[in-house]
Structures are given as C-alpha cells and as structure tokens.
Structure 1
Amino acid sequence: MADSGSKIRENDEVPGRVKETFCQPCLSKDLQTVADKFCSTCDEFQCNDCSNVHNALGILKKHKLVSVNEAYAASISFQMKALYLCDQHQHSFEFFCEDEKKLCCSKCAIVNHRKCHSVVEIEKIAGNITSPISTLGEKLKEAKEAAESVARHIRSSKDQLAQDIKDIHVKIRQMRDEVMNMFVDLEDSINKRAEILQKETLRNVTKRQTQNEKHLAGVTKCLETIENIFKNGTPVQIYIAQHKMESKVNALCRNIKDEYKKLEKMKMSFQFDQTLKLPPLPITEYVPGQLLVKSNRQEDVHSVNMTMTLTPVSAIGLKKTEDDIDEPLYSGIDFLTDGRLVAVDNRNKKCLVYNERIEKVGSYQLSRHPLSVVVISEEELAITSGYQIEILHVSKCNKISSRRICKVKTQYYSICLKDDRQFVVGTYNEPKPVRIVSLTGKEHDFSVNFPNKSYPLDGSACTYIKSSDNVVITDRNEHIVYIYDIKTDARVLVKDDQIQEPRGAAIGPWDTILVCCRNTNSIVQISQTGSILSSYRIDMMHPCKICVSRDKSLLVVTNSYPGNNTMQKFKIST
C-alpha cells in the first residue's frame, strides 16, 4: 500500500475535512492534480487522466484500480487487522492478563500466562474500560507538538550555528585589521627606539674611537722619539730615555690592551614575546617584544682572555648553635669595604659579621626574617625583609646596631647599590620585577619595558652594573638570565644548558656577571653581551647566594641544602 504521506494535504483537527491526495505521476512533472484512483500494482495514487493509461495499454489492464476512498478504507482495515493480531503467534487477541497488563492470544494465555492469577476474556471486560481511546490521541498530540518543537529547535540551532560561523569570520577580519594597525604603530615605535639606541651606541663608539686615536698618536710619538734617540743619542742619553719612558710605554700598552679586550661587534635584533597581546592596548603601553642589542667579540681577538679562575681559600659549615632556633639559612651575603663579611640568617633572624678567615666575630638579633643584605659604606648596610628596609651600623669592633627602618609599599627581596643615594631592589609577588628605592625609602620605577611578570619569593634575584647602567635579573623557574640596558631599553636574554635554576647574581672582574646555578652546582660567568665565558663546578650542593669583594679578588658563596649548609671563600684570578 502506498504511503499516504506522498503529498497528502490534511488537517485532522477540523471535523469533516477530507484528505486530499495528489496524483503521483503528475507530481513528478511538478503538477499538483488531485488523485481519484489508487493502483495497488503500481502502488500509486493517480488522477483520471493518468489512470486511463491502464485501459490503453494491454500490459496494464490486469492492474487493480480502486477509488481513493476505497484505498483509504482498505488501508485503515489493514491497520486495524494488524492491531488485532498477536505479534508472536499471529492469532487474534482474546484474553487480557491483569497481572502483567498484557493482551494475549489463546496460545499466549496457555504458554506464557498459565501461572498468572487473573487472565480474563476481552469480551467480558471491554465495556468496563475507564480510559477512552481519545486519551491516547491527546497524548499523541502532545508528543507530536513536542517533536515539532524539537524540530524547530534543531532548525534554529543550525541557523544559529551558521550565523555564528559568519560572525567569527567577521571578527577575524576585524582582528586582522586591528593587528595590522598595531604593527604599523609598532614599526613607528621601534624605529624611534632604534634611532635612540643607534645614537647612544655611536656616541659610545665615537668616545672609544677618540680614545684609541689618542693612544695611537701617543704610541707613534714614542716610537719616533725612541728611533731618534737610538740613531742620534749618546749611550748616556739612551740609558736615561729608556728608564724615563718605560712607565709611559707600560701605561700606553695597558690602555691599548684594555681597549683590545673590549672589542665587540654590535648586532641589533627584535625578539617577539612568546605571548602576543592584541588591542585595545595602545602600542605606547604594550610593545609585543624587545629590541635586542648583542655584541660579539671579533673572531680575530679570541686570544684575549676575559675569563677568571677560582681557587678555594676556606670553608665553614653553617651549624645550629645554642641560641639558634633552626638550622641557619643565609639568604644574603656581602663584603664590607675592609674585607670583612656580613651575612643575614633568614631562619634565625640574625645579622652576622665574619673576619677574613671566615670566623664569626659579631652577631645582631633582628626583629623580622631578613631576605637580603647590601653594604652601603664602610660602616653601614641595608637589609630587606618584605615591606621594610632596615639600615644597620657595623663598627670596626664588629658591634651592630640599628640606625633606622624604612617602611615601603612593595615587597622587596634582593638588593644592591645603584649609586650613593639609591638601591636597585628585586621584588616578589609584585607586577614590576625590579624597582629603585632611595636610602630614605622613596620608591620609583625604571623607565624600562620590563615584562609584566610577578615572581614568587626566591624566584628571581637582581644585580646592577654601574659602568654600563645595566640591570641583571635571574629567572629561576625559566632558567634565564636577563640583561637590560636602562639607557636604550634593550634586552639580552641568556638561556643555556649551563644555566639551570639561576639564583643569586653578582658583578665580577671586567664587570662580567656571576650567577649561582642550583641544579648544576656551579658558578657561571657571563659577559654583558650575553656570552657564556666560563662555568665552575664547586664543592657545594645547591649554591644560592654569591658576593664579590670591592677589588674583585675574592668571592664568597653559600648554599641551601638541608643538613649540609656551608659558606665557601674563593680567590679570583684573571
């Protein structure tokens, strides 16, 4: 029987409305003609014109044609007959099992329900039905409405999805335009920065060039003088000239050798940050990268040695004493101007003084846990402890007393001198990694585009190179040492397998950078241009703090290794 869904126009909700079925052959020709007949052999509804073909063609004369109404009646009768038959045995339903609420044929009643207590004939209970069949129709209508609602929701979702995809394309195009505008601004900004950097670099190069020309003129003049004396002078004159000019020649040679060591090849580049932020941040507030300037020593000056060597001098174990609460942990160390050493014990809240043989000669109890220390002058030092910087006095006889306490608004950790009136101080849990603090506690920022990164306590340390106005920052977790040029806002990033968990940093000979590396138990020497000059493994687990004497001849390092904390002193040879 043909599916009555083949273009049938109907509305069962309006009484008396007759179903209207279209001729299927006409529909294939895009014509809507009401069907009058149904051919069960063709399984098609047909109009009179199309059904007359059966009379014209002999092969179709045996097809059975009935009216549309008869076809519907036969369809309903077929459907009703299917309702009356048991699916399992194809027998008519005669019984109803009240225990299991199931219709049963005679076989079902005997085979499947013989143990049930109430199996009754349908004829006896048919008149007692409490729920009319119209109730089922209502349920079906509700189900139909729900299904149509689901269909509408799915169509709406599909339409919304298509619209969302269109909106994404529009947004991407907008982002592309914004990024292009940002790069136009970026190019202008970098050009201005590069021009400033170029002028600064050329100014420094010109100074060195002028100085070298003076040295060259001095050498030329000395050579002419020596040649004239050897050609025309008497033995007495030659002897006097030799001794008189020796110091001048030695000074010239030293100056030229120093210039020779500093020979560098300048290279400028721009390095993008790993994460690129998009507008609405203006380019004046955020530059997605760093302008880098790197100097490489020329290949023809490889014989110039800027490396140092370390020779162990003495070492002591840092053991718990009777007046200690816990095992000592030295979080900061520095040399006094006369060669004595000051250290701060974070766990026991102490400031200690050691003589040149690393013998403890003075101690002072602090009110807070100290984090780092720096010597300010012959008898003054500063100690950081979070939101305060305390200034202490250390006498020649090793007595320590508090001078004043500066309350600050930023949490500070590492500390070093910038000049006679200011510190360079590393932060923790703050948006700026490094700041400037005066000796009176006044705070302000560098004019440098530092990354907006907050370091945890002991996650970073800083130091300062006065001769070049460079700030050095260690990044413990990322295994990186940053060198920032304050004048030009350029940055050198040092990342190497020899740098693993860099902790404390100090300035060594030739203003090179010395960094404690915890994971490699070593001290790495780095040039200001980012070259690894040397690496020294030391007999110490997990070195963390380092300091260098004023004349760059001595180095002291401490560690943080539970049960085996030590302090070692080395002689620096160049």
Structure 2
Amino acid sequence: MADSGSRIGEDDEVPGRVKENLCQPCLSKDKKTVADKFCSTCNEFQCNDCSNVHNVLAILKNHKLMGVKEADVASFSIKMKALDLCDQHQRSLEFFCEDEKKLCCSTCAIINHRKCHSVVEIEKIAGKINKRISTLGEKLKEAKEAAESVARYIRSSKHQLAGDIREIHVEVRRLRDKVMRMFDDLEESVVNSAETIERETLENLTRKQTQIEKHLADVTSCLETIESIFKNGTSVQKYIAGQKMESNVNALSRNIKEECQNLETMNISFHFDETLKMPPLPITEYVPGQLLFRSARQGDVNSVEMTMKLTPVSATVLKKTGDDIKIPLYTGIDFLADGRLVAVDNSNKKCLVYNEKLENVGSYKLSFIPLSVVVVSEEEVAITRCGEKKIEFLHVSKCNEISSSRTCKVKKKYDSICLKNDRQFVVGTYDEPRPVRILSLTGEEQDLRINFPNKTYPIGTSASTYIRNSDYSEILVITDRYEHTVYIYDFIVRNVKNDQIKGPCGAAGGPSDTILVCCRETDTIVQISQTGQILSSHKIDMKNPFRVCVSRDKSFLVVTNICVGNRKMQKFKILT
C-alpha cells in the first residue's frame, strides 16, 4: 500500500482541505511532487516523470499503471508498516537475490546486484513462503503466552509477598502475650526489617514487570501485524514480512525466554525460638527470632500459580416450602454486587434471593422452566429458559422484591450464561453444533472465531464461563461432563484431563484468574490454572456438586448440587 504519509495533511487534517497524493520516489529525495499515476505492482504513487521509467526499463514494462483517481487505495490496505519498502531507497521491494539472501527494490537490483547470478521476482517465489509467515505467527503466540505467564507470576509474587508480610504481623502479635512489654520494641524492629525487604523486593519486581510488559506490548504489536498480513496480504507481502520480521521475532522470543529463566521464587517468614530465655538487655539489642528472606530461580512459572483454601461459612438444606411441588433444584446461581445471592429453581419455576447467611429473603414465581442466571447490573438479572429461544430479564430491588423486566427473543436454545462485558453475554448452547455463542443484551447473536470440536451437547452435559484477566488476555472455558474434560480456549486450546476431573459441570472464574470447576463424580471443587495445571482439589460435604459462583471480590464461593434426596447450597470463604 502506498504509505499513508504520502498524503498532504494526513497528520494535521483541517476541515475542507483536499488531500493530495504525493510522488513517493520524489519524497525519498526530499522533494514534494503531486502524483499523477499509481503503480499497483510497485504499490506506490508516482509523478509523470518517475512513472516514465516503466517505459524505459524492460524489467518494469509489465507493471500496472493507473490514474490516481482510478486507484482504489482501499484495496491495497494492509498493515505492512513499511515492511514492503526498501530501507535504502524507500521503493517497493520486488526482487530477492538468492546469492546474497537479500530483498531488493528495482534500484537495488540494477545498482547493487548486477553481478549476482540469481535475482528473481518475489511474485514468482512468494507462494513458497506462506508457511514461514504462519510459523512466525505461532512463534509469536508462544512468546505472548510465555510473557503473559511471567506477568501473572509477577502479580502472584507481589500478592504472595504481601501475604507473607501479613503472616509475619500475625505471628509477631501472637508472641505479644509471651514477651509483654518487650514486644513493642520487637515488633518495631522485625516489622521494619520486613517492610524494608518488601519495599526493595517490590521495586525489583516492578522493574521486571515494566520490562515484561514492554516485551508483551512488542509481541502483541508484531502479532497483530503478522495476523493482518497472513489474513489479508498478498503472497509478496507475506514473503517480505517473513524476511523482515524474522529477526525481530527471534529477538523478542530470546528476551522473553531470558525473563522466564531469570524469575525468582521469594518468600519471607519469621521464626521464633519458643525456648528462648530473654536476657536482661533491651529488646533491640537481642531480637528473639529470625527474619528469613529466600530468593531462588523459578524455572517453571506455572508451578507458582496461587492455590486457594476453602473454609465453610454457612449451608442450607433445600426442602419443599410454601407452594413448592418438588424438592428445589438450583440450576443457576450468581452473586449480586452487594453480596446477596440470586438462584433459579428448575423444579418449581422460581427465582429466589438469599442474604449473606444463605437465608431466603425473596421469591418470584416464573412462567417458564429456568436453566441458568447471571447478574447483569446492581438490580437486574438475566435467565435462560428451558426449551425456549428466549432470555428473561428480571428486576431485583434492594428490598428483595423481584419483578419481570423484559423478554428477549433469540435464535438458539441456551443453557449456561455469563457476562462478557457490559454489553454482551457468553452463552452455552445445547442441541447445537457450536457449543458457545456471543449474545448482546439486546438479542443480537454471533459466533466466536474458534474451531470447536464437532460435537453437540445435550442439555445439562456442558457449561461455559468466560474470564477476562487483568493481564491483557481472555479465557473461554467449556466443561464436558461425559468426556471428563475441561476445555480452555486462549490462543492455544488446552484439553484438561486428570483423575481429579470426573464429571465436570459448572465452572467459574476464581482468585488470581484461575478456573474453578464442579466435579460431580468426585464431589470436589477443582482449581485449574489458565495453562491447564491442577492447582488444588477440595472435597466438599455435598454429593454431586453442579453449579458454582464466586463473589465479585473473589472472597466467597457458593455451590449447589443435583443429588436426589439430599440437595444443598453451601457457602465458603476463599483463602489464598
């Protein structure tokens, strides 16, 4: 494409100003001349004098010339970022010297490579290079994934460091009753030392984070260029991009690999000698304990993903009450912004609200069988309808009053539903060849650009969730109950199979951007990293867990089950 800089006023556009295309060969000589022609082969605008060279040199006679007004510049639009221009002459690259392994413009070919035996037109050999541009794209994707892992590790390390410091405070305060007044001096001495280590370590981590974020931005930029060229570019453009970007890609990969190899695992703790007899000295002269700081190289970033612990908070047994016909079956649950819980009862066609103690404080009779529910805003929820191509919206007030808001007609039957952003849902289908789709809040539907397995899920055998991370990435998770598999879609598709994953059902985003999955056949909640590593598995006092949700601040988890005759809803505190 002709360089966008060849148009007058491109960077300082004024209303009413007419843009003119300038001759690019003249521009390379610091001369501004209005272009009269456009050469689609050279991919540049030229004045009459410069375009006449096509009639002089035999090698240029097959080039396609057209008037400026006839040129459809948009048809040549692609993010080549000047990759197709000669560094020396700023002319389009048309030839490749096989003797010197260099890309050449027509000027280079005539001046610098006249004595070379094999100077070929790029257009004739470009078809052989498609695989290289694809390989570069894959290499950049791998580098991007590694950079994201490093970014997650650094964030995790900072969180862990802060947690260790908090533990030191707790341990030191536990000793207060034993050392009484001397503890004041001890606390000041130990905590100040710990905070000095924390401050210095955080500064180091922040410097590393800045560096990896720069690499990540570079990788993302290169990847966008590669993907744009691979998708829309001509064979010539792909060949040129492959030649010119290979060294940059290799350098980025080396830099990110070096960052991965230089990672360090750090923890800080305080150990007190319980048998110590305090000497008659000021506490600052003899500290009854030792502040330990350890730092070690971390070879595998994934192994430092943050694991969680679950502490039971409350539980409720689901029984028939009031006008219930059957034992309640909660197939959808989600947290409201203020910590209340909204649930849908599939057996009795109800939407219910629970307070923080899991006490029922609101109920609303539905005219349909609900499947799943998601909180849309502070006072609105959306519910999928069983056997119907509709999404129901309800209003849930601060006083726990529930009322119908609107009904949205859709084209497919949906089961699971979660928010993608403030305008769209990610919805799981059933009895459809594509298991997940995007749905707007107003009902527009579209497919994701993902090559899903050729499989149709019956109702209740699969669920999906969507996680938007703080480190520039987005994750789609799909559970397959009968295949005992969790599919994680990022740039790379990961099929997570493990003895701890049996009958996976509901899924939700957990702490530190991890994934939480209900495993029906093992009665567990399994924590999985985004790279597919099993981080922890938690046996819960509930048969056949089915649906799980996590509070907005990632501090609480609620799970429901589908067990016949013993249905529960439990709430846990998440500790990391």
Aligned-partner SS, 1:410:
coil
Match of 1:444 in 2: 446
Determine the C-alpha separation between the residues in 2 that align with 1:254 and 1:363: 53
Instruction: Give the TM-score normalised by the residue count of structure 2.
Output: 0.52
Match of 2:464 in 1: 462
Where do 1:290-301 residues align within 5 Å? 299=299
Determine the C-alpha separation between the residues in 1 that align with 2:302 and 2:151: 24
Q: Does the 8 Å CA contact 1:506/1:514 hold for their aligned counterparts?
A: yes
Q: Does the 8 Å CA contact 2:153/2:301 hold for their aligned counterparts?
A: no
Match of 1:475 in 2: 480
Q: 1:397 to 1:483 in 2, by over 3 A?
A: same
Where do 1:142-181 residues align within 5 Å? none
Where do 1:532-571 residues align within 5 Å? 532-571=534-573
Paired amino acid for 2:464: C
Partner deviation per Cα, 1:218-264 (whole Å, 9 max, x = no partner): xxxxxxxxxxxxxxxxxxxxx9xx89x9699279269559969x99x
Paired amino acid for 2:425: F
The unaligned stretches of length 5 or more in structure 1 are 1-186, 214-238, 264-294
Paired amino acid for 1:325: I
Determine the C-alpha separation between the residues in 1 that align with 2:148 and 2:547: 36
Match of 1:353 in 2: 353
Aligned-partner SS, 1:449:
coil
Match of 1:388 in 2: 390
Q: 1:417 to 1:189 in 2, by over 3 A?
A: farther
Q: 1:326 offset after TM fit, Å?
A: 1.1
Where do 1:5-154 residues align within 5 Å? none
Paired amino acid for 2:508: A
Q: 1:366 offset after TM fit, Å?
A: 1.1
Q: 1:196 offset after TM fit, Å?
A: 2.9
Q: 1:195 offset after TM fit, Å?
A: 3.4
Q: 1:503 to 1:192 in 2, by over 3 A?
A: farther
Q: 1:257 to 1:472 in 2, by over 3 A?
A: farther
Where do 1:64-463 residues align within 5 Å? 194-202=135-143, 249=199, 252=202, 299=299, 304=304, 306-385=306-385, 386-463=388-465
Q: Does the 8 Å CA contact 1:506/1:515 hold for their aligned counterparts?
A: yes
Determine the C-alpha separation between the residues in 2 that align with 1:188 and 1:571: 55
Determine the C-alpha separation between the residues in 2 that align with 1:500 and 1:350: 30
Q: 1:191 to 1:358 in 2, by over 3 A?
A: farther
Q: 1:299 to 1:457 in 2, by over 3 A?
A: same
Is 1:506 the counterpart of 2:456 in the alignment?
A: no
Instruction: Give the TM-score normalised by the residue count of structure 1.
Output: 0.52
Paired amino acid for 1:493: N
Paired amino acid for 1:340: R
> Which has the greater radius of gyration?
1
Determine the C-alpha separation between the residues in 2 that align with 1:356 and 1:382: 21
Q: Does the 8 Å CA contact 1:413/1:425 hold for their aligned counterparts?
A: yes
Q: 1:347 offset after TM fit, Å?
A: 1.0
Q: 1:515 to 1:257 in 2, by over 3 A?
A: farther
Partner deviation per Cα, 1:390-413 (whole Å, 9 max, x = no partner): 111111111111211111111100
Aligned-partner SS, 2:527:
strand
Q: 1:211 to 1:461 in 2, by over 3 A?
A: closer
Q: 1:198 offset after TM fit, Å?
A: 3.0
Determine the C-alpha separation between the residues in 1 that align with 2:573 and 2:207: 24
Q: 1:210 to 1:324 in 2, by over 3 A?
A: closer
Aligned-partner SS, 2:334:
strand
Determine the C-alpha separation between the residues in 1 that align with 2:130 and 2:548: 39
Q: 1:523 offset after TM fit, Å?
A: 0.6
Determine the C-alpha separation between the residues in 2 that align with 1:439 and 1:309: 35
Determine the C-alpha separation between the residues in 2 that align with 1:254 and 1:373: 44
Partner deviation per Cα, 1:490-548 (whole Å, 9 max, x = no partner): 20010011111001001101111110011100111111101111111101010000000
| Number of residues of Structure 1 aligned to a counterpart in Structure 2 | 326
Match of 1:159 in 2: none
Higher relative contact order structure (alpha carbons within 8 Å, sequence separation ≥ 6): 2
Determine the C-alpha separation between the residues in 2 that align with 1:211 and 1:531: 14
Q: 1:366 to 1:340 in 2, by over 3 A?
A: same
Determine the C-alpha separation between the residues in 1 that align with 2:361 and 2:539: 30
Paired amino acid for 1:453: K
Q: Does the 8 Å CA contact 1:212/1:256 hold for their aligned counterparts?
A: no
Paired amino acid for 1:198: K
Match of 1:229 in 2: none
Determine the C-alpha separation between the residues in 2 that align with 1:211 and 1:322: 49
Q: Does the 8 Å CA contact 1:504/1:516 hold for their aligned counterparts?
A: yes
